[in-house]
Chain A
Amino acid sequence: MYVVRIKTIGEVAFSGKMKMTAGYRYDIPFDELQLPYFSLSELLREKNIVLDNIAIGAAHPLGYTGIADAARKLLSVNSNCAPFIRGAFTNDRFITELGYSIRSLKAGQEYYAYIGFAEERKAEVRRLLNSVKQLGISVSGITGEVSMRLEQASDLTDDPAELSSLCRYNCLRYTLMLTTPACFYDPFGENAATHFYVPASAVKQYLGKVKSFSADDISSLRFTHAYISNSVKRLLPTPACVSVIKLEREQLRYRLASGKKADVVEQDIDLIETYCEGVDEHLVRYTRPETERITSPDGRLLDALSPGQMFSGMIFGSDKMIRSIAAHFEKEPMVSLGELSDCGFGEAYVRIDGADEERESAPTLCSEFDVCCMSDTLIYNSEGMAACTDDVFVDELEYILNAPDTLTVVGKYTKTCSDHTQGRPVCRCLAKGSVFRVRTKSGDPIDISPLLHCFAGERTDEGYGEIAAYPAVMQYYKAGQELAPTRYKLGVRFSYMRLNEGARFTTAVLTKMLQSRITGLAYIDRDEYKYGADANELYPVEIVSMLKQRYAPAISDELLKKWYKEGLENYRYE
């Protein structure tokens, strides 16, 4: 894999098209962790450099993985450090004559971006990159001078998945973490123009472009959708039974529907497109993936999944294919998925979580069980029409269990949706989240182990028809709690070098924070200093030593005193 190394020789600022903030004429885009990232392909396009068939990802500061981890920890401990994290990379200037601020990247920094191209074009790409000497705008002392270099990416994965040579695998589990916004276009979607998950077709399309896999190889695999993960588990669509209005007294919705007022602590929650680990007795903890607006190069406004979120999915296939895919991702863990991937959107880091063998489940006997659709389920009835009725679904279950005419539906909560996949006829399917409670007609228990996690209906190779079943349980939820999506917590084992970078970054940010606190103390004491008090006597030793312990215990006392005195001098005339 190749990367482009960008070194800022002078300060670099970007035009308003890259990022617009109130009060700033020119600003730098920051991600959730307050680290700068910018679309290199967009900048090159501004310079009229043609990039056909070259995919460039977003540019991040060098040492990103170590710094990102450090930034995440800093922000979770003390969210006030956000401006200091930004300040480690950018200069912020207010131009009084013109009345606006400019934020620019500092000189002497290094950034990198992943770049993909056909191997034969290496010399051409190298020439192209070496010819770029300036990026962004050139205004009021900001030259935008840069130097770019093409390099082989090294040391990408710190945590290779270990696949045993003794097993015959049939399932590969992976998690992908978005590093830039990713758009999975759903042209007829209800709420937003992106799916709230990474569709199986996007992953399938990506693997289809990899040279070492043939079209036949790919069509032998089965992909599931990658749903949002809480860094440990793949969350699943909230079952429809949780969000549907029910007519029982204890349910909040019943009371609202019959004109009674909600208690102070209760809320009416919209649970469309949410994912959860499971439904507890009284509480549903759900997560809704976050989206943001992006602009395509031709000016269209699209919704995209925000970066930092993690999505987990599975690939089923032969042992040989599982191993080759795992090996491919270990070599090239950065992927480009979804729309606008050639503009740097949809960049993600893939981590292999592990691989599973095909296991014979122990027989699970029950006479009543719940079946939940984990993804849109498309079933053709005996007339070849797409159907969403009970009897067609039960037929399918009976077919999987090889027990014709034994089951009947007790109750269900279903949603239907229309599937508008490009290039295929529109069909109605059972939407993800539909649940059925099924029981045997005779009352005898039946073994549901084939149903525990299986695929039913059509297009299962693209994630449709993922079904889970479990013995019927009396469940009764009353309240919901939204959990924000976990971000940037892939949990890869960091190399020693990365940890060092993270530690250095943390120290730099904390030192800057300490300096700002000390000059703040000087500001408080400025009046007394103005009227002739001695700086050494004014120096608040105890407070400073407390702050020093908190932020940067290793720093020298002389430096702290120097900052204090400089602060007094600076604020003397305020």
Chain B
Amino acid sequence: MNNIPIDKIPPRGIVLAYFGDTELFEPYTVSDGKIICIGSGIFEKQTPDECHFFDEDEEFRLIRRRSRNDVVHIHLRRVDEENADPDLIYVQNVLVKTEHSIRDGIPKTLRIINRFAYTENDTLVLKNYRISYEKAGIKND
């Protein structure tokens, strides 16, 4: 588990990771400091370009920046959105492709909470977004 800070990711949730030519989209749990999910072996072999660990309230994201040879860690939480201006929060419910949603533990829709802000030039810009889901939307959970 090359440098994935296990203590920061939600203990149970869904992982969405992009590797060079494959993707991983599975429900996972953390136990004994290791990520347990179908296909988790790939974390030992390859470094992901982009990796999202999320549950309903939190997301922990790792983005690899080849230009700086570093990895950006971003932690997003629902509590931060509660104090925000509701006009600047936009929620999208995106459908998940059937080939994924029929699997156990994967919800039918993902909820994306977009956080906008105004710049000093008064342009609207997307500052960040958080991926989340509704537990009720998953079968067998």
Residues of A within 8 A of B (CB): 219, 379-380, 382-385, 389, 396, 399, 424-425, 456-460, 465
Contact = CB atoms under 8 A, between A and B. Distances in A.
Nearest to B65: A380
Nearest to B73: A384
B97 interface: no
A494 B61 CA distance: 58
A65 B127 CA distance: 56
B98 interface: no
Contacts of B74: 383-384
18 contacts: A380-B63, A380-B65, A380-B67, A383-B74, A383-B128, A384-B61, A384-B74, A385-B126, A385-B128, A389-B119, A389-B125, A396-B67, A399-B68, A424-B18, A458-B66, A459-B66, A460-B67, A465-B67
Interface in B60-85: 61, 63, 65-68, 72, 74
Contacts of B65: 380, 384, 458
Contacts of A465: 67
A384 B61 CA distance: 9
Interface string B94-137: 00000000000000000000000001000001111000000000
A460 B66 contact: yes
Contacts of A385: 126-128
Contacts of B66: 458-460
Nearest to B129: A385
A384 B68 contact: no
B67 A383 contact: no
B67 A457 contact: yes
A458 B18 CA distance: 15
B68 A383 contact: no
Contact of A458 (B67, B125, B127): B67
A456 B128 contact: no
A384 B67 contact: no
Contacts of A459: 66
A458 B72 CA distance: 13
Given A384-B72, A399-B67, 18 more contacts: A379-B67, A380-B65, A382-B72, A383-B127, A384-B61, A384-B63, A384-B65, A384-B74, A385-B127, A389-B125, A396-B67, A425-B18, A457-B67, A458-B66, A458-B67, A459-B66, A460-B67, A465-B67
The 4 A-B residue pairs whose C-beta atoms are closest, nearest first, are A384-B63, A384-B72, A380-B65, A457-B67
Contacts of A460: 66-67
Contacts of A457: 67
A457 B68 CA distance: 8
Interface string B4-37: 0000000000000010100000000000000000
Interface residues of B, number: 16
Output the residue of A380, A389, A457 with the most chain B CB within 10 A: A380
Interface string B47-67: 000100000000001010111
A209 B131 CA distance: 37
A66 B54 CA distance: 64
Nearest to B66: A458
A460 B18 CA distance: 18
A28 B71 CA distance: 58
B45 to A, nearest CB: 14
Contacts of A425: 18, 50
Contacts of B127: 383, 385
Contacts of B67: 379-380, 396, 399, 456-458, 460, 465
A376 to B, nearest CB: 14
Output the residue of B63, B67, B74, B126 with the most chain A CB within 10 A: B67
A399 B69 CA distance: 12
B5 to A, nearest CB: 15
Contacts of B126: 385
A377 B66 CA distance: 13
A133 B125 CA distance: 65
B110 to A, nearest CB: 13
Contacts of A384: 61, 63, 65, 72, 74
A378 to B, nearest CB: 9
A414 to B, nearest CB: 13
A426 to B, nearest CB: 12
A494 to B, nearest CB: 43
Contacts of A424: 18
B100 to A, nearest CB: 15
A328 to B, nearest CB: 23
A385 B126 CA distance: 9
Contacts of B125: 389
Contacts of B61: 384
Nearest to B72: A384
Nearest to B67: A457
Nearest to A428: B126
Contacts of B50: 425
Nearest to B71: A384
A477 to B, nearest CB: 27
Nearest to A381: B72
Nearest to B76: A383
B133 to A, nearest CB: 18
Nearest to B23: A423
Contacts of A379: 67
A465 B65 CA distance: 13
Contacts of B68: 399
Nearest to A396: B67
A147 to B, nearest CB: 45
Nearest to A465: B67
Nearest to A456: B67
Output the residue of A383, A384, A465 with the most chain B CB within 10 A: A384
B116 to A, nearest CB: 12
B128 to A, nearest CB: 6
A107 B50 CA distance: 61
Contacts of A458: 65-67
A465 B67 CA distance: 10
Contacts of B20: 219
Nearest to A379: B67
Nearest to B21: A423
Nearest to B68: A399
A467 to B, nearest CB: 11
